[in-house]
Amino acid sequence: MKTMSPELLWSLPRVGNPIPDSKGARFVVPVTCFDVDKNEGLTRLWLDDGGFRAISSGVSASQPVWSPDDRYLAFVRKAPAGKDTGAEKNQLYVMDLCGGDPERLTGMPLGVSDPRWMPDGRHIAFLSPVYEGHWSLDETEAEAKRRKDSKLKARVTDNRFYRYWDRWVCEEPFQHFFLVNVSTGELRDLTPTLNRFLPLMDPVGSWDIAPDGSEIAFTCVRSERPYHDLINGVYRQSLNGGEPVLISEWTTSHATRPRYSPDGEYILHGMQSEEGFYADKTRLVAHHVATGRHIVLTEAWDHSAEGWEFISAGTVACIAEDRGANAIYTLDLARGLASPGEVQPEQIARGAWYSGLKVAGGTIFTTKQSHCSPPEVITLKLDGSNETQRSEFTRPVLADVALAQPEEHYFKGANGDSVQMWLLYPVGRERKNLPLVHLIHGGPHGTFGDQWHWRWCAQAFAAQGWLVAMVNFHGSTGWGNEFARCIMGEWGEKPFQDIMAATDYLIERGLADADRMGCAGGSYGGYMASWIAAKTDRFKCLVNHAGVSDLQAQYARDVTPGREKALGGEPWGDQPGLDRYNPMRHSKGFRTPMLVIHGELDYRVPYTQGLQTYNAYHAQKREARLVVYPDENHWILKPQNSIHWYGEVFSWLCKHLG
C-alpha cells in the first residue's frame, strides 16, 4: 500500500460544487486535474444524467448554470486563440444539451463571470469589469490596451484601502452586471455607473435575480472612499434603470449574499453586528420586499450561517460549522417571522464537511469531504435522510493508498475550558511515543474541521511517520461567538495555553515523545510559531509559513480597519497593548530552529514579516532557513511550488524530529 505524498496529492482530481437542473434529475460538476510538468490545471464539466460524461474538453470551463427549461447550459471558458475581443479572457458560452457545439455569446474586453439565466429563458445576466470613467465597452477595451502598452507603471491613490490579497485595487476596474439576449447577442449594462467593490475574494454567488425578473439584489462595499472602514451591504437594482438602493443601511456591520424567496416576497441575506470582528456570527435576515421591513431571524442561534438557499417559499436550508465538523440545517421561515431571533434552525445532517449547497426536486446537492476523503458529490433528502455519494472521481487514485484514521479528543485548556483536537496517527506505527507535529490553523478565527486540505494535507504529514495534532484553540470558529471572540487583543494568550495543554495531554498519555516535537502553522499559525519560539524551547523545531511576526509592521497589510481591536493597540496610541503579544518585541527568546516561508505577492501578511523573523534569528546566531516564492501570495497554489513547499517542510521536520 502507498501512503499520501505531495505528488500523489496533486494527482487527485479536485471536485467542485454540483449544479442540478430544476427537477434534480441531472447535475453538472466541474472537476479540475493538474499537469505538474505544465504547472497548470484543466477544469472540465461533467454531466451526470444516469452516468458521468465529460461535456467540455481542451479549455478549462467553469461556473455552469442551467436554463429554466433545462435544455441549455451556460458556462464560462476562454475562447480559442485569436485576435477578436477578449479571446484571452473567459467568455460566456451556451451549449444545447440535445446536441451541438457550445456557442460563444460574448466578447467582453475584460471577461465574464458568474452567469445566471433570467426567468424568461431568453436572457442571461453576468458579471464583467469596466474601468471607472471608461464605462462603455469600447472605452474599457481602449483603456486596457493603453495600460498594457504604457511604459509608466506607477500606482497612485488617496485611499486607505488600495490593495488586496495579491493585487492593487486602487486602479482596478469595477464589476458591472450585464444582460445579454441569447438569440440576438444584444447587450445591456444593468449598472452603468456602479463604482463599488463587489466581494473582493470572489464575487461569484454574491447576487440573485428576482423570480419575476424585474430586479437583482447584490452584495458590494457600501463604505465610501477613502474607505476608513470596509463594510459590505446588500443593494437592490431595478432592471428598468435607476440607481442601486441600499437595503441594509440599518446594520452596523456586514450584510451579504441576498437570496429571493421563490414567491419574491422576501430577500434573505446574512448580517453581522460587530464591526472589526470578522468572525462575528452571521445571522439570517428576512427583508420584506414590499415594505422594506427587516427581521433578524437567528439572533439567538449561536452558529454562523453560510451557503443558505430557499427550499421553498417557506423553508430555508443552510450550512454552519459545528464543533470541528459542519452540518446542514433547515429553518421554517414562518416560525422565524413569528418569533424573530428566537427560532433555532433544525439540524438535519452532520459530520465531516459539506459545501456548495443546492436544492432541486426535493433533493439537496452538495459535496462532502473528511480527513480521509477528498470532496465528492453527495445528495440527501430534505429531512437529511438517504445520503448518497454520487461521484467517485478520486477513488481510482486512492484505491491503494493507506490513509491515517482520525480521532477526536477533548482536553482541559485555558481557563479550564474544554478544547477539541483532531489526531491523525501514522499508518502502521505503534501508537505510543511518536514524534509529534502540531499543525496550527490560521485566522486566528478559523477551524480545523473534519475536512480534506490541499495546501496543508494532514494525511501527507502523518504519512511521514508523525503524530499530527490539530488543536481548535480558543478563537476557533464552530464553538459559539464568545469562544471565537475571547482572544481579541490577546493573540498570544489562550491559544498558546491551549497548545501547551494539548502537548501535555499527549505526553501524559504516552502518545507523543517529549524529545521529538515540532509545530507548523501558516498566517496566524505562523504568528503562533513565532510566539512559541519567544516563549518556550520545549519544541525541537518550528515552521512559520506567511506568519505575522511584528504587530506594528503588520499595519502594512491590505486591510487595516479594525486591526487595533484584533491586535490590542496601535502604533500611535496603545503601544504597550500592541507590544504585549508581539513576537518581535520578545524575539530575544528565539532559540528553537525555525523554517520561515513566505510568498512575495502576499499583501495579507507582507513578506517582510518573514524576513524580520529570519533576520532576528540570524542576528542572534540561531538556526533558521528561509524559503521565498516570488510568484505566490498568502497561499502556495502552483503545483511545482507546492511540491517544493512540502519538500522543504518535511525535510526540516525530518532533520529535527526524525
Q: What pLDDT score was predicted for residue 346?
A: 96
Distance (Å, rounded) from C-alpha 129 to C-alpha 131? 7
Does the bond joining 226 to the residue before it have cis omega, within 30 degrees of 0? yes
What residues of the chain score a pLDDT lower than 70? 80-87
Q: What pLDDT score was predicted for residue 208?
A: 98
List of domains in the chain: 196-344 (2.120.10.30), 404-657 (3.40.50.1820)
Distance (Å, rounded) from C-alpha 496 to C-alpha 476? 13
Cell of 547: 506568519
Q: What pLDDT score was predicted for residue 563?
A: 82
Size of the chain, expressed as the number of residues it contains:
658
Nearest to 366 by CA among 325, 303, 450, 309: 309
| Exposed / middle / buried, residue 348 (Cβ in 10 Å: 0-12, 13-18, 19+) | middle
CB neighbours of 331 closer than 8 A, spacing ≥ 6?
A: 284, 297, 298, 315, 316, 317, 318, 343, 345, 346
Q: What pLDDT score was predicted for residue 570?
A: 85
| Exposed / middle / buried, residue 615 (Cβ in 10 Å: 0-12, 13-18, 19+) | middle
Distance (Å, rounded) from C-alpha 512 to C-alpha 180? 61
Query: Which residue in this structure is represented by grid cell 467517485?
Result: 392
Q: 541 has which bridge partners? A: 518
Q: What pLDDT score was predicted for residue 213?
A: 97
CB neighbours of 603 closer than 8 A, spacing ≥ 6?
A: 163, 164, 165, 166, 167, 557, 558, 633, 634
Q: What pLDDT score was predicted for residue 575?
A: 85
Q: What pLDDT score was predicted for residue 416?
A: 97
Q: What pLDDT score was predicted for residue 91?
A: 97
